[in-house]
Amino acid sequence: MLLMAVTASAAPVRQSLDGADWKFKQRRGIGIWYEATVPGVIHTDLIANNIIEDPFYRLNERGVQWVDKEDWIYQTSFVADKEILSKESIELVFEGLDTYADVYLNDKETPILKTDNMFRRWRVDVKSSLKEGENMLRVYFHSPVKIDMPKWEAMYPVEYPCQNDQSENGGLLGRKISVYARKAGYHYGWDWGPRLVTCGIWRPVYLEAWNNIRISEIYYNQKSVTEKRADVSVEFDITATAATSAEVRVIDESTGKVLATVPTELKSGNNSVVAPFSIAKPKLWWSRGLGEPHRYNFRTEVAVGGEVIDSRSHKIGLRSVRLVREDDAEGRSFYFELNGKPVFAKGANYIPCDNFLPRVTPEIYERTVLDAVNANMNMLRVWGGGIYENDIFYELCDSHGIMVWQDFMFACALYPAEGALLENIRQEAIDNVKRLRNHPCIVVWCGNNECNMNLRSAKKKYDKLGKPEVFERMFHQYSDVYYDALPEVVAKYDPMRPYHPCSPFSGKGIPTKEAADPSKGDTHYWGVWHSKLPIDTYNVTRSRFFSEYGFQSFPEFESIKKYAPEERDWAVESEVMSSHQRGGSKANSRIRTYLENEYWPAKDFQSFVYINHVLQGDAIRTAMEAHRRDKPYCWGTIFWQHNDCWPVASWSSRDYYGRWKAQHYYTRNAYEDMLVSGFNRDGRLKVYVVSDRLTAEKGELEVAIMDFKGNVVNKFSKSIKIEPNSSTVVVDITTEEALGGAKAGNVYIASNLTVGDRTYTNNNFFVKQNELNYPSANVTSKVAAADGGVEVTLSSEEFARAVFMSIEGIDNFFADNYFDLRPGQSRKVHVRTSLSAEEFEKQLRVVHLAQTK
């Protein structure tokens, strides 16, 4: 069949209204107009016009809390293109308005659009309102505080639990109003983020015009996908201005092959047409580490009388996915099955990269996703207190084989979801499921984050007050959203993808414990950190899937100097450090307590930050290795959290500026496709080999008990067979035998596993870090010029723990850092920097853990 190009005169056309031709003003006051940028938010425009200072700098957040109490007006003038005006149908499209907005066009006295949901896309017919020549577009943003405070007051004394809403920081006392708005929850503050309640045209705005026919939506419904055959039904949503005969087609753009052709009779209005096709022996989409994340280039077309009227192109990954929840002897399973194979999920929780979302550039998205890829992750969990991310995020995950656990946007609260709000939520879910469902990376839709835990506190509160009917209403609203509305949307619009009601979750009802039953579902484990349990507790805590756990650290010292450059701020509990810590008033002191219990008191603030990074990295590495050793009981380890939205002490493995902490470097090793892990407990040393490969392998294992000067105390070598997707104990001896008379504080467990041309290494210990007698090793360095920067060679004749290199500023990247140097070992590290080798060597600082005592 001859393929036809889309006829230019018939194809839908767009005219962008983004850019710097906008202006804004405060509704109240003298009404001075200032330049604005769209997409943008009010805070970024106020910063650009020097009206407010950077809220991320020192204590400036406090001085901008007035912004969300005001109404703001944005306005632009534009001339509609002649081609736009010539079309039968013209719509004004907002990809995102934050949040309560009235839209006016030209001399219309009433709004052409009123919005109340940050997460939805909005379209409005403007054919009759546009004119030749200049058009005036105005968007009036209502203060979310003014809109939602009356809702809170109308419900009082009933209060919906919402512990992370920093209403006090916003001058609202205890009036936590965020649950009344369909707006990013973290804008109101979180235990890692500031309170900066934005408004604005935060995503693109444009005119879209067409004649006769427009493809509204395309859905590739993957009915059945195996290695032998893929059966796909392409579902077209088509808008037609008049009844007509048409033909829809699906084409493989790479080969030109027409996969499906379906004649159809379109009626005026909305139409649904299905075009099924099959591919024999398809190339499948695999997650990172299991195979290529292959995607087909498919094009869909609708033609009338042989003329292509509209078309869409998509990159589609063919794969099957299941969330396997089956009863077994130990509870109930929880794991993802991709293309029929169980996948151990290794990843992190992801939050928005900035409080001011339009500042997140494609480059930042790419760096953020690649930092997951380069740390050997295969999953990111898009957490429910942020946003349904921009398309580029999912496209990057698609192309790199990163599975996405996608929360709906509800977190750590109960919501008054009934009537108009419930319908608003339903439309939000439909909009975003339709927008994102063709991305192969998304493997599950999850109803919410930790909202079920608030059921327990709400029931306790209102039972005590003698008002059980209040809780019953809350529980009914909860059920309506997570057990009815959201799963119904997924079942209707994305039926081949699993739905999970909540995280954590093991069953319906009110949780009887602080966490869901770990033997029957996913777990948010916070015994270490929130409950102050020792780090070693990670080794004995079990769950079928860890979807949250974490440990805090400050940003790297060079990052701290970006937002707190004054030396008076460089103290653990200074006013600035306390302000850039939202995990509670005692969080910084908790870091100090853990540090002194597991390591030793720091000599100064810079040493504190360094040891804190090692502490965090060691803690989370302990958890990762424990979770992986526990396979196949456990099938996932997703730590909290991958990134930050502002410079802050938090649980992130990368700070706001994208700088890798020790934890991120340790993650890269702990998440490799094979892991060798030594574990000493209850008088026995066990060494595990864990494989995520889908094929059996042969390996050479060498485990040495070595002192810190390089002497071998004991050694075990053996050839092993490594089963696919397995965790196996390969060495199991008494601790006494392993030590061979040596003291536990004077030795370490050096493991090497060679599989083919790859060698996997690990260093483990018999006792806590503060019980180890590390030597004052002399680490030497050599610096040489290299492509894109320099190469540093570090050497030591004695064991050096957590060797850390740094130079001035943050415009550099060390390919490896915070690593151990075994006695007699050299390590070459590439550093991306603009400095010459000579200047770099002058700035280079090298420290290891023993030097901080």
Question: Which pLDDT does position 759 carry in this prediction?
Answer: 97
Q: CB of 488 within 8 A of CB of 445? A: no
**Quick one: average pLDDT of 370-383?**
98
In angstroms, rounded to a whole number, what is the distance separating the alpha carbons of residues 593 and 576?
Answer: 20
**Interior CA angle at 567 toward 562 and 569, to 5°?**
75
pLDDT at 3 over 50: no
Per the prediction, the chain carries an average pLDDT of: 96
pLDDT at 404 over 80: yes
Closest CA to 407 of 445, 440, 453: 445
pLDDT at 451 over 90: yes
pLDDT at 11 over 80: no
Does a cis peptide bond (omega within 30 degrees of 0) precede residue 632? yes
Q: Which amino acid is at 316?
A: I
pLDDT at 10 over 80: no
Two structure tokens written together for 580: 């850039």
Please list, in sequence order, all residues whose beta carbon lies within 8 angstroms of the beta carbon of residue 563, skipping any fewer than 6 positions away.
56, 57, 58, 576, 580, 647
User: pLDDT exceeding 90 applies to what percent of the chain?
Assistant: 95
In angstroms, rounded to a whole number, what is the distance separating the alpha carbons of residues 289 and 377?
Answer: 9
Closest CA to 853 of 553, 595, 479: 595
The DSSP element (H or E) to which 758 belongs, if any, is: strand 758-764
**Quick one: average pLDDT of 706-718?**
96
Give 616: exposed, middle or buried? Use CB within 10 Å, 0-12, 13-18, 19+. buried
Specify the 3-state DSSP secondary structure of 576: helix
Which DSSP string do the residues of 380-439 spell out, in sequence order?
Answer: EEE-TTS-PPPHHHHHHHHHHT-EEEEE-S-BSB-----THHHHHHHHHHHHHHHHHTT-
- Find tokens 């009082």 and name the residue: 156
Two structure tokens written together for 631: 């396979």
Q: CB of 551 within 8 A of CB of 538? A: no
Q: What is the pLDDT of residues 612-668, one digit of tens each?
A: 999 999 999 999 999 999 999 999 999 999 999 999 999 999 999 999 999 999 999
Closest CA to 402 of 363, 433, 370, 432: 370
Does a cis peptide bond (omega within 30 degrees of 0) precede residue 39? yes
pTM for this prediction: 0.96
Question: Which pLDDT does position 512 carry in this prediction?
Answer: 55
Two structure tokens written together for 587: 């969080």
Q: Which amino acid is at 183?
A: K
Distance of CA 447 to the CA centre of its chain: 16
Question: Which pLDDT does position 6 carry in this prediction?
Answer: 43
Rounded to 10 degrees, the C-alpha dihedral 58/59/61/63 comes to: -130
Q: What is the pLDDT of residues 56-83, one digit of tens each?
A: 999 999 999 999 999 999 999 999 999 9
**Interior CA angle at 429 toward 424 and 430, to 5°?**
100
**Quick one: average pLDDT of 327-331?**
95
In angstroms, rounded to a whole number, what is the distance separating the alpha carbons of residues 354 and 193?
Answer: 10
Cβ count within 10 A of residue 532:
11
In angstroms, rounded to a whole number, what is the distance separating the alpha carbons of residues 719 and 708?
Answer: 27
In angstroms, rounded to a whole number, what is the distance separating the alpha carbons of residues 90 and 210?
Answer: 7
Q: CB of 577 within 8 A of CB of 561? A: no
Q: CB of 705 within 8 A of CB of 713? A: yes
pLDDT at 282 over 80: yes
Pairing outcome for strands 89-94 and 34-38:
unpaired
Q: Phi first, then psi: give them for residue 414, nearest 5 degrees.
A: -110, 145
In angstroms, rounded to a whole number, what is the distance separating the alpha carbons of residues 662 and 803?
Answer: 10
pLDDT band at 300 (very low <50, low <70, confident <90, very high): very high
Q: CB of 505 within 8 A of CB of 452? A: yes
Pairing outcome for strands 205-210 and 327-328:
unpaired
Closest CA to 456 of 777, 696, 163, 686: 163
Question: Which pLDDT does position 57 carry in this prediction?
Answer: 98
Q: What is the pLDDT of residues 827-836, one digit of tens each?
A: 999 999 999 9
Per the rule left: phi > 0, alpha: psi between -120 and 50, beta: everything else, 277 is: beta
Which DSSP string do the residues of 700-755 spell out, in sequence order?
Answer: EEEEEEEETTS-EEEEEEEEEEE-TTEEEEEEEEEHHHHHTT--GGGEEEEEEEEE
Two structure tokens written together for 584: 């509670």
Q: CB of 212 within 8 A of CB of 309? A: yes
DSSP state of 54: -
E strands, 95-176, in order: 100-105, 113-116, 122-125, 134-141
Length of the chain: 853
